[in-house]
Structure 1
Amino acid sequence: MFEVEEHQAPHYLVTGGSPLQGEVTLSGAKNAVTKMVIASLLTSDTCTLRNIPILGDLELTVKLCQELGSQIQLDRDKHTLSINTNEIVDYRVSSAVGGLNRICVMMIGPLLHRCGEAVIPLPGGDRIGPRPINFHIQGLQQMGAKITEKDGYYYCQAPERLHGATISLPFPSVMATENLLITASLAKGVTIIENAANEPEIVDLVKMLQKMGAIIEFKVDRRIVIEGVKSLHGASHTLLSDRNEAVSLAVATYLTKGDVYLRHAQQDTLLSFLNTLLKMGLRFEVDDEGIRFIGDTKAPPAISLETDVHPGFMTDWQQPFTVLLTQSEGMSVIHETIYEDRFGYTTALERMGAHIGLYPKCLGEVPCRFREKQHMHSCVVRGPTPLVATRLDIPDIRAGCSYILAALCAEGTSTVYGIEHIERGYEHLDVKLRSLGARIEKVL
């Protein structure tokens, strides 16, 4: 019975060996769109978002907002979304939807501002190691929120209007920074976020909030200062392009020795990635409309790299790049400093023929939270090694994309299960790859 159900599960059949050729247009940023939808809850006016990616994480966020009372118009063809939350009809986020990912914790601030109360389930998310939300909770408590945990829910109250505070983050967490930005926009007084993250998606969120009437300034030394205002109004905003999709498709081009132009790829959001390509002698051309990535028949040289907070090498780029390093000449080293358990996917690459070793030592120079903690957060890759097709089970979004990249350059046909993770985080990735000549079939 189990085998029948497994066979019926949606999956991809990916046959390697076809060079990717042509042009594809990047989607809007996954890591920006959901936060902007949440930010729209701060006002009773209509907010319109353009260049939105149509993917699973957005669908979940839309459902959450609709349960709270939001009226939403989604035009999938034009990639636009209009949201109006004139009235919030329920301050409780259901566990049926809210427990599926971590976005519901972002709703605490808007619900406290609009209703004075919020009840949210403990959040879920990808299996890439613990991602506690204590930074969020502690920051909100500093702003006057009263939060207790009971029976799998957070119960939040703000008897009075939330107020400004100086919040020092122990680590420049992207999502905690976004949460505090959204909440502080309507808090009374001035909020200072110290050791804040400053990723491009955060800058884009600040652009939207400024259009809504928020007063937010980036200062030196990772400080963001927010002067709270009494109310915010509606706004229209066009999202930046998805830099993770850009990196995934660029790496796929090099792995397959292809030639692909990514329309709307933005150089300023990809600087550290492009610098790494230059160090490896990999070719690309930048123009005003996008970036062309040009593969070569020669194996690129090995490299040492470390993930870091922006403007460093992004942790979400680590998985596709690890696949690229299996095809590089020599011994490469990757030091992961953001998440302690993000190399679990490499066992699948080893089954495909990759030579990979994991180590608890910090094999790099970036100051690391995991030093002396025995987390397997450094990786050594020896290449080039030919990869062979196998069955792959996707554990999370980024690892899943790396599996597909590995399958694209492997000999034979790989069967990839767990594709709901891919569809949660990428818009029609299989369709885009097929348009570039990849042999990838979706089986329902």
Structure 2
Amino acid sequence: MGLAGDKITIHGGRPLSGRIELKGAKNLVTKAMVAAILGETPSVLRDVPDISDVRVVRGLLDVHGVKVTSTEEGVLMLDPSNVESAHMADIDAHAGSSRIPILFCGPLLHRLGEAFIPDLGGCRIGDRPIDYHLEVLRQFGAVVEKQPSGIRMSAPNGLKGTKVHLPYPSVGATEQVLLTAVRAEGITELRGAAIEPEIMDLINILQKMGAIITVDTDRVIRIEGVDRLEGYSHTALFDRNEAASWAAAALATEGDIFVGGARQGEMLTFLNVYRKVGGKFDIHDDGIRFYHPGTELNPVIIETDVHPGFMTDWQQPLVVALTKARGVSIVHETVYEQRFGFVDALVEMGATIQVHKECLGGQACRFGQRNFNHSAVISGPTKLHGADIVVPDLRGGFSHLIAALSAEGTSTVSNVGIISRGYEKFITKLEQLGADFVLEG
């Protein structure tokens, strides 16, 4: 599994039922692997999912001289004792469209005094995110040179603590500051920080390594730089996005799925919305059981937000379930400008969904009056029917899988390899839950 051209033919209309197990969060594990570069001794990371994003980071670590070995399934040992500069071409070959190379910069500047990243041009990452990362690194004292083949960074005078105020609580920018500030000389103050559970787990890892990090109220994080960090031993936080995706699948297919490894605390906001929709759940010590109530579902009004709000990655799978609710649901997306492209396929399958440029159902947000389709109105209940679908992206792709599984008739979903970027062994899990499908290479 993992070829972008993979195709799956699904015979829908069967409830998904059974138990699946979660591993660590994609959004934490890949950053924890990068953090290992900062240690003077090897690190051990457990509950690592077998997904393509992890393989990308493993390749990048390898070209930088970090020895990565898998001692048993889901466990990685990362030995950074021979960290070295990598050639642009090698980094480019392993990175693909990944944004991860930008997070290597702070740790590499500390270890080697220099870092390179290939040209992550606008078509791949967009100008704003990379420029913002570069500006943050400059604030720490990095010298950034844009060259035809990419970007070279150096720190002739070492990196110094600084004050950073994020205009929006960006997860990537917060990670950049944390990974750079822990070894920078002096104190770094980060205002407007992201405080997602994956960020807090990264802070836990850095503290295990010897970092001094204080998380204050009002999104303020202070980091006191230290001279040396050791390796860590850590079990990764479970993947909240995958948990919510299977929960939505249980609702959409009128099924019953026990999600092993899911925890209540990090799912609090999702569970409240799930209950409002009419979904049932039982909290257990080893996971959460999600199941359909057997009665009609309720419409809801949702506004996505940064943590502790309703995650943007949760809305796409839940929208599929909302096509089954009686009445009108509204989803206002405030985190990403263009997150409703996936609904075109749902409409083709029989859903009644209208997308609007206005801020509907909540407060005016930063995308209002800017010609972004960022609000969706879902009218239901509608019966979905089979269709031919091409997966556009990771979360949208899983939503299309859920739609096909809940639809009457047969659907062909192409490009499902993208889904393996963030969902470990999802084909095996579909088998475990009794889905009726055929996978074609």
With normalisation by structure 2, the TM-score equals 0.95
The structural deviation recorded for 1:364 is 3.2
Query: Which letter does structure 2 place at the counterpart of 1:69?
Result: G
Count the aligned residue pairs: 437
Task: Trace 1:34-433 onto structure 2 (pairs within 5 A).
Answer: 34-75=30-71, 78-93=73-88, 94-123=91-120, 132-151=129-148, 153-433=150-430
Q: Within 2, Cα distance between the matches of 1:413 and 1:209?
A: 48
Matched AA of 2:320: V
- Tell which deviates more after alignment, 307-316 or 9-18: 9-18
Question: Which letter does structure 1 place at the counterpart of 2:197?
Answer: P
Cα deviation for residue 416 of structure 1 reads 1.1
Judging changes above 3 Å, is the alpha-carbon distance between structure 1 residues 126 and 402 closer, same or farther for their aligned structure 2 residues? farther
Is 1:27 matched with 2:33? no
String of CA shifts for 1:55-79, please: whole Å, max 9, x gaps. Answer: 000000000010011111024x521
- Is 145-154 or 408-417 further displaced after alignment? 145-154
Q: What amino acid is aligned across from residue 223 of structure 2 in structure 1?
A: I
Counterpart of 1:54, as a letter, is: D
When the two chains are superposed, the root-mean-square deviation of aligned CA atoms in Å is: 1.9
Please give the alpha-carbon distance, in whole angstroms, between the structure 2 residues aligned to 1:343 and 1:131: 21
- Cα offset, 1:123, TM superposition: 3.3
- Report the CA distance between 1:341 and its aligned residue: 0.7
One-letter amino acid of the counterpart of residue 83, structure 2: I
Question: Would you identify which runs of 4 or more consecutive aligned residues in structure 1 move more than 4 Å?
Answer: 124-131
1:203-247 per-position Cα deviation (integer Å, ceiling 9, x unaligned): 111111111101111101100110000010111000011011100
Q: Equivalents in 1 of 2:379, 2:126: separation in Å?
A: 25
Q: Secondary structure at the match of 1:132?
A: helix
Return 290-299 or 185-194, whichever deviates more.
290-299
| TM superposition shift of 1:124 | 7.3
Whole-angstrom CA distance in 2 between matches of 1:334 and 1:211: 39
Secondary structure in 2 matching 1:191? strand
Q: Distance in 1 between matches of 2:30 and 2:123?
A: 16
Given residue 89 of structure 1, which amino acid in structure 2 is its aligned partner? E
| Secondary structure class of the residue paired with 1:208 | helix
Identity fraction in percent: 44
CA distance in 1: counterparts of 2:352 and 2:295, whole angstroms: 19
1: CA distance between counterparts of 2:157 and 2:70?
35
| 1:18 counterpart letter in structure 2 | R
Distance 1:128 1:272, change over 3 A: farther
Deviates more, 1:201-210 or 1:149-158: 149-158
Q: Provide structure 1 residue ranges, at least 5 long, that are not aligned to the other structure.
A: 1-7
AA aligned to 1:110 is: P
Tell me: CA distance 1:325–1:199, structure 2 relative to 1, closer, same or farther (3 Å): same
Could you give the per-residue CA deviations for residues 278-319 of structure 1, whole angstroms, max 9, x where no partner exists? 222321111221111121332211111010000000000111
Secondary structure, in 3 states, of the residue corresponding to 2:269?
Answer: helix
AA partner of residue 39 (structure 2):
T
Question: Structure 1 residues 34 and 56, CA, compared in 2 at 3 Å: closer, same or farther?
Answer: same
Deviations 1:320-360 (A, max 9, x none): 01111111111111100011011111111111111111111
Supply the distance in 1 between the matched residues of 2:180 and 2:43 (Cα, whole angstroms). 17
Segment drifting more, 295-304 vs 31-40: 295-304
Q: Where does residue 438 of structure 1 map in the other structure? A: 435
Sort the Cα spacing of 1:201 and 1:276 in 2 relative to 1 into closer, same or farther, 3 A. Answer: same
Q: 1:409: how far off? A: 0.2
Question: Aligned partners of 2:272 and 2:125: how far apart in 1?
Answer: 27
- The answer to whether the Cα contact below 8 Å between 1:126 and 1:396 also exists between their aligned partners in 2 is no
CA distance in 2, matches of 1:129, 1:67: 25
Question: Which amino acid in structure 1 is aligned with residue 75 of structure 2?
Answer: T
Distance of 2:146 and 2:125 partners within structure 1 = 24
| 1:14 and 2:25 matched | no
Task: List gaps (5 residues or longer) in structure 2.
Answer: none
Worse-superposed segment, 9-18 or 426-435: 9-18
What is the CA distance between 1:92 and its match in structure 2?
Answer: 4.1
Mean CA deviation greater in 146-155 or 287-296: 146-155
Letter in 2 for 1:347: D
- Alignment deviations for residues 163-203 of structure 1 (CA, whole Å, 9 cap, x no partner): 10110011100011011101101000001110000000011
Q: Which amino acid aligns with 2:268?
A: L
